[in-house]
């Protein structure tokens, strides 16, 4: 079953030109609208969404919402014979989430994994700076039990053999339930500020970077780290100074972690336990 899409691009074709009328729609929301439509509660699904859903990355192939006869759950499936564009990472199967979780465990004792994680984050920052559509940040080579640190060449991409897409989330759209409780690579241009705090129990100093949307300034998530990690991250002065002036500043950020909602469900936090897990530049 092809259930890798957690969202779709909503596109209406007007005047023969493809025009995006609403950035993205989440699978969970589509499933709810579809149920309401099937139960004659609302026609919104048929009127707005049906036949207007496309691959969220390359916007090439059309997607249909299909109900699994096994699980009863809805999933998004590409129309047969419609292909993704050349540079679309959805051509590749996703890495199993447990392998991504494993990649981030115990980084302090695994220099090869540190290097791999950091090189993916570097490529995401490069993508942000240049708008480059290269597949490089998204793909990794895998074996059965782990993500390998091998370089990926064009031949490997062509054959698709053991090549998988990493779970990557752009911070240009809100964090949703698919982005939490599992390891992901997050990246984007955001507004941010730093808080310095002392832990209640031992009084150790730690830092929390609060990340807000660059467009709406709405809260997205925060990441926390101890003083040793913070000191080694080369935090730009302008961001560091927000500890005293409390003003958000625009930054480019890429980090790999597991985001968890807190008890109140108002805040979403991730830990940075190793320097390789985060890159911040102005
Ligand atoms: Zn695509």
Report residues of the chain scoring pLDDT below 50: 1-3
pLDDT digits (tens, 9 = 90+) for 64-87: 999 988 888 899 999 988 888 877
pLDDT at 1: 35
Classify 197 as helix, strand or coil.
strand
**Beta carbons within 10 angstroms of residue 133's beta carbon:** 14
H/E stretch holding 161 = none
Ligand 1 centroid to residue 182 C-alpha, Å: 23
pLDDT digits (tens, 9 = 90+) for 155-196: 888 888 899 999 999 898 788 888 899 999 999 999 999 999
Ligand 1 centroid to residue 77 C-alpha, Å: 11
Q: What does each C-alpha distance from 238 to 82, 110, 198, 224, 246 come to in angstroms?
A: 47, 32, 22, 18, 11
* Contact indicator for 220, 245 with CB cutoff of 8 Å: no
CA dihedral 10, 11, 12, 16 (to 10 degrees): -170
Ligand 1 centroid to residue 61 C-alpha, Å: 6
**Beta carbons within 10 angstroms of residue 240's beta carbon:** 15
pLDDT at 2: 41
pTM of the predicted model as reported, rounded to 2 decimal places: 0.83
Tell me the Cα Rg of the chain.
20
Residues of the chain with CATH 2.40.50.140: 168-281
| Domain 168-281 falls under CATH 3.30.420.40 | no
* Contact indicator for 25, 12 with CB cutoff of 8 Å: no
Ligand 1 centroid to residue 163 C-alpha, Å: 16
Q: How far apart, in whole angstroms, are the C-alpha atoms of residue 13 and residue 171?
A: 27
Q: How far apart, in whole angstroms, are the C-alpha atoms of residue 194 and residue 204?
A: 16
Ligand 1 centroid to residue 274 C-alpha, Å: 33
């Amino acid at each position: 079953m092809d259930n890798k899409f957690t969202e779709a691009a909503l596109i209406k074709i007007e005047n023969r030109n493809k025009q995006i009328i609403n950035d993205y729609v989440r699978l969970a929301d589509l499933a709810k609208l579809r149920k309401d439509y099937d139960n004659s509660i609302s026609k919104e699904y048929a009127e707005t969404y049906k036949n207007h859903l496309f691959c969220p990355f390359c916007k090439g192939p059309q997607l249909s919402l299909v109900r699994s006869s096994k699980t009863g759950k809805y999933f998004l499936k590409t129309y047969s014979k419609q292909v993704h564009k050349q540079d679309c990472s959805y051509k590749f199967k996703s890495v199993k989430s447990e392998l991504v979780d494993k990649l981030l465990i115990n980084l302090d004792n695994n220099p090869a994994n540190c290097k791999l994680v950091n090189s993916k984050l570097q490529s995401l920052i490069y993508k942000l700076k240049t708008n480059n559509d290269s597949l490089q940040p998204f793909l990794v080579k895998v074996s059965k039990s782990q993500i390998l640190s091998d370089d990926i060449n064009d031949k490997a991409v062509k054959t698709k053999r053991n090549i998988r897409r990493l779970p990557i989330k752009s911070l240009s759209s809100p964090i949703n339930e698919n982005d939490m409780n599992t390891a992901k690579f997050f990246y984007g241009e955001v507004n941010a500020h730093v808080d310095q705090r002392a832990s209640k129990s031992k009084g150790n100093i730690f830092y929390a970077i609060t990340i807000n949307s660059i467009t709406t300034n709405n809260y997205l998530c925060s990441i926390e780290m101890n003083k040793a990690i913070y000191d080694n991250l080369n935090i730009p002065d302008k961001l560091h100074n927000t500890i005293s002036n409390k003003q958000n500043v625009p930054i480019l950020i890429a980090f790999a972690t597991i985001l968890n909602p807190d008890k109140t469900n108002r805040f979403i936090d991730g830990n940075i336990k190793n320097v390789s897990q985060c890159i911040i530049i102005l």
